[in-house]
Amino acid sequence: MVKYILFIGAFIVSTGLSAQKKELTLKDAVMNQYRTFGPDRINGFEWIPNTDCYSFVSRNYQILYKSSVAETKDREWYTIQRVNEILGAELTSFYGLSWKNENEFVLSDGTKYYEFNTVTNKGKQIYSLDEAAENALFHDGSQNIAYTKGNNVYVNTASGLKLIVTDNSDKNIVSGQAIARSEFGITGGLFWSNDGQHLAFYQKNESNVHEYPLVDINQTPAELMPIKYPMAGQKSENPKVGIYHLATKQTVFISPKGAADDYLTNITFTPDNQFVIIAEVNRDQNHMWLNVYEAKSGAFVRTLFEETNDKWVEPEHPAFFPNKKSNNFIWISERDGFNNLYYYDFSGKLIKQLTKNKFVVKDIIDTKKDGKLIYFTATGENATNTLVYSVDLTGKQTLVTRNEGTHEFRLCTNGAYYMDAFSNHTTAFSSMIWTSNGKMAKGLVTSKDKLGDYKIGTSEISTLTGKDGSILYTRLIKPSNFDPTKKYPVLVYVYGGPHAQMVTNSWLDGANLWMFWMAEQGYLVYTLDGRGSGERGFTFESQIHRQLGNVEMEDQLSGVDYLKSLPYVDASRLAVHGWSFGGFMTTSLMLRHPEVFQVGVAGGPVTDWKYYEIMYGERYMDRPEQNLKGYEQASLMTHAGNLKGDLLLIHGTVDDVVVMQHNFALVKKFVDLGIQMDFFPYPMHKHNVTGKDRVHLIEKVLTYVLENNK
């Protein structure tokens, strides 16, 4: 086993000083991790276009500041009250401010949009949308705005036109919203062309999708509020991409070239506004075609290239154009095992594989020098990091950021400077401005540890070797009064699923503050990112294919073996908790390895993958009829008779991600078997219990562990 240990230095509390420290309450740990205890940051940092000046806002977003690289002092520029007086507006903050040019910025409260000139100290309202408007997308150049109301799309133009893009009365036809359950990197449903004269939008036909019943108990009597929920193996939505032309007020539609329920993903316009690039993925998610269409007619032009894999192909990033005067583009693909950058011409010919890293490229963030230098984020050799690199079009790669950790990056418009902000294991938050050739130009903010006055224990990041030889990252939290001669019970916090990474080189090592509270109750809190989790490459992640739970549990049990090897761990008092995929893992461990954990608390768990959505579930498990054995083995109903310890199941009653049928089916199975367990619903909460009720949730979870793990 390979191991390294890092301590959060500010958290190390000597015995002599511990009596002077404040006690952290569970309520504060839950509600104030990012408020009272959140590190000081430079909020809302934005470079002002075509200058070396920048703006940022106060912690409460009420004051706008201006400074420059050369200035040593920041200048209070505007208060939101003053801006409101000038505009005759009722804006509550500067949140979401964006610069139009070096003198003008745009502000919005979500329905009203304002333009403000900092030279003339004048401004005006440019839009006032209906309160029913959602998903608004503002185009800075043209100042046109697209939005949805209900299932339809609308556009308001800078010249005052109000355009109806779609007018479908059939509620099964949904336009302008995210499709495919927001998989494949999809976060929205509206896409402006670069000139703001064409609007692409997703449209999905959900006629074939089953209506799933959710119940609104706030009504008397209670009312159904059904959602469309495509379960694995059942009929799915049929997508289209519409392209609306503002000049002609006409829409053309693009349908999948393959099956009607293929996925259309990663939409982007070319810089010349003439074409749209769309990645089409078949429903089995093992074949992707990157297709080009004419924006004007919607006609298919050509397939640029294809990607196949016997497990899955999952494009998550649209084509990126480094030079706004060329249709040559960069594609992010993990075809060689890790996300890397591939540079193509517009005919689909590979010009150059720009990166050949054995670590994960996360995203492209900016370019300079007419697109000849590309900045991107990546993990680097230590997968817990998020670092910034640059690469030129010859493939010369440079590490830009100086410190290990989790970085944010902002390049000024002329490329002469960049802002780098980061946190890591020992740094709560630090931000600086650097010259493009790597000299520090200005320090901005370095935050102190806001938890320094509280009794807080230590966090240790380690690695261990899994049974297949994989290096696995772990986090162990100990109490402030840790005594290696004592025996401690352990709470294992688990997620374990794709696209998630629990252990990161960031402040608190990616942990929730309630975990440190739990440690002060005399516990060790342990987390391991096993195979299947994110940011480790395709081989590491894809071992879960068609057998969810198997290798993930094997790695968690390797972590348990490590814990049992520690002289200060009480192996007879192990508890496990997780949510969503972590709820599936928690319950799987309790049922399939009942001798290991004495207590489990599973929130919003998947209990049978046949009840889960098509887009995610079929990627990892294939369809139920294609993988009968895999579905049966992964189903918690198959193993329910093995329960020995205390198990609490929790679910939001209107969960639209992991529907309550998962927990209901498992509870029924326990009842059928005559096995006692515990169940707690959170009425009218969705997949995550949020707001003040989250304090109740965490108290419920931890109290259950403390009371039963004896």
Catalytic residues: 580, 655, 687
Name the residue type at position 549.
Answer: G
Q: Which residue has the tokens 């690039």?
A: 277
Dihedral angle over CA of 231, 232, 237, 242, nearest 10: 120
Q: Which residue has the tokens 């320090």?
A: 443
How big is the CA angle at 250 (ends 249 and 255), to the nearest 5 degrees? 145
Distances (CA, A) of 508 to 29, 178, 407, 429, 700: 12, 33, 15, 11, 23
DSSP state at residue 48: P
- Whole-number Å distance between alpha carbons of 626 and 546: 9
* Close Cβ partners of 700 (under 8 Å, ≥ 6 residues apart): 648, 650, 680
User: Which run of H or of E encompasses 614?
Assistant: helix 614-621
Neighbouring C-beta atoms of residue 70, cutoff 10 Å: 9
Judge whether 576 and 559 are in contact, CB under 8 Å: no
Give SS3 for 576.
Answer: strand
The token pair at 449 is: 């540890």
Name the residue type at position 491.
Answer: L
Count of H-run helices and E-run strands, the chain: 11, 44
- Whole-number Å distance between alpha carbons of 67 and 57: 11
Name which of 513, 476, 702 is nearest 599 in CA terms: 702
Q: E strands, 29-130, where?
A: 43-47, 53-57, 63-68, 75-79, 98-99, 104-108, 112-117, 122-128
Q: How many residues does the chain have?
A: 710
Name which of 141, 148, 137, 82 is nearest 113 in CA terms: 137
- Whole-number Å distance between alpha carbons of 283 and 312: 10
- Whole-number Å distance between alpha carbons of 621 and 278: 25
- Whole-number Å distance between alpha carbons of 346 and 365: 21
Distances (CA, A) of 20 to 17, 454, 455, 549: 6, 9, 9, 45
The token pair at 407 is: 């970085």
Q: Which residue has the tokens 């889960």?
A: 612
